Amino acid sequence: MKLGPTRIAWLQISHQKLRLLAAVLGVAFAVVLVFVQMGFQQALYDSSVRWHTALGYDLAVISPKTTYLVNPPGFPRNRLYQALGFEGVDSVTPVYIGIAEWRNPLDPLQARNIYVMGFDPLNSGFALAGDPAQVRQLRMPDRVLYDRLSRPEFGPIEEMLSGDGDVSTEVNGRDVKVVGLYELGTSFGIDGSIITSDLNFRRIFSSRSASKIELGLVNLDPGADPATVREAIVSGIPGDVLVLTRDEFIQHEVDYWSNSTPIGYVFGLGVAMGLAVGLIVVYQILFSDVQDHLREYATMKAMGYSNFFLSRLVLAEAFILAVLGFIPGYGVSLLVYTQAREATNLPVIMTHERAALVLALTIGMCAVSALLAMRKLRSADPAEVF
């Protein structure tokens, strides 16, 4: 029965069950707070790049003025065709993007902004839009595909389609017919979306010209190096466009959300707040624990135990609290994630990486609390037990 600092720490904090419960709940609360903030933050980033990851391309061409993909400014379509001439480029797809007003087919008074993407159905890059038969239907005038994960406020499109098979509504004052569904999901900037052909796009947005596009997709020959081709294109065409690889394009969007909007900052702050709350809770618990056991620590010092031993004891307590608090915190977070996912259609998903990160943060948080509480250990004066 060797009594190391960890064993003593466990015996000490498990001796008072209610206190242990309070401590564990405190840590669990902090863990949930951090998980939720991180979950939403990641969901924000993941959802904002849904299109970036779902579209098929090797290089993306956008206007340098594009801040984010929800409402990008246009650039000359010719730039994309110019890119077609470079070594390694296989094909290009001009993409039109706009925000249109969608009326709920069941409740026409309810009009909401919907995200519209238009492309030539003959081009590649829109595997997400469904099988070729479904895409082919877009060649007919005023036909659109609808994202079945759009917010319910747009109407029960999916149910209506499977019912009588015919859903018509008004987009930007023009009658359109939903001929199929695809699956993408919402983001913080986009509540719902439709995909249509380039021609239909210009019917919905009658003032747009065909020569101005918002996004260009470039597909390369197999084996071509995206970075090399990108360099070639950038040096060969006018500088009024930005040519980005997949990763850069995704990063461009994430950078916007994390740096240029308050949203990234707010979530970052939320994580910090969660850790701060946890830090204070754990510190408070450890501090009062050390305080309550000062006499015992002083006795141990008198017996010949070192400060180092006592520090390890407090650190071990912190570690135990971290692990014990993490487990219920993780469980509750999973529930919160599920709930949030169902309510928002945002990709709030637990990953192993995040679980490991939060566990590490929790242990770190408890360790810092322990270091703070250890200062109190010095006041355990062995001369005072006499």
Evaluate whether 211 touches 81 at the Cβ level (below 8 Å). Answer: no
CB of 149 vs other proteins, minimal distance in Å? 54
105 CA to centre of own chain: 31
Residue 143 C-beta-side C-alpha neighbours within 13 Å? 16
The nearest distance, CB 13 to other proteins, in angstroms, is: 9
C-beta separation of 72 from 63 below 8 A: yes
Among 261, 299, 311, 344, binds other proteins (CB under 8 A): 299
Toward other proteins, which CB reaches closer, 3 or 133? 3
Alpha-carbon span 269 to 263, nearest angstrom: 10
Which one of residues 222, 223, 378, 386 is an interface residue with other proteins (CB under 8 A)? Answer: 386
Asked if 291 interacts with other proteins (CB under 8 A), we say: no
CA distances 4 to 1, 10, 232, 312, Å, are 9, 10, 65, 9
Give the C-alpha distances (Å, rounded to integers) separating 201 from 27, 31, 69, 118, 141: 53, 47, 17, 5, 10
Nearer to other proteins by Cβ, of 101 and 292: the residue is 292
343 binds other proteins (CB under 8 A): no
CB of 354 to other proteins, least distance (A): 36
Name which position in 306, 338, 339, 351 contacts other proteins (CB under 8 A). 306
Report the nearest approach of other proteins to the CB of residue 371 (Å).
20
The span of 110-118, 176-184, 295-303, 359-367 binding other proteins (CB under 8 A) equals: 295-303
Q: Which position among 5, 6, 11, 315 is part of the footprint of other proteins (CB under 8 A)? A: 11
Phi, psi values for residue 247, rounded to 5°? -65, -40
Please list the alpha-helical segments (H only) found in the chain. 5-15, 17-48, 50-54, 77-83, 132-136, 157-163, 198-204, 226-236, 246-255, 262-292, 294-303, 307-344, 352-374
According to the binding rule CB under 8 A, does residue 294 interact with other proteins? no
Pick 15 or 352: Cβ nearer other proteins: 15
Among residues 6 and 82, whose Cβ is nearest to other proteins? 6
Q: Specify the stretch interacting with other proteins by CB under 8 A; choose among 12-20, 35-43, 242-250, 278-286.
A: 12-20
For 26, 78, 93, 136, 208, the CA distances from 180, given in Å and listed in that order, are: 49, 31, 21, 11, 25
User: Residue numbers of the site for other proteins (CB under 8 A)?
Assistant: 1-3, 8, 11-12, 14-16, 295-296, 299-307, 382-383, 385-386
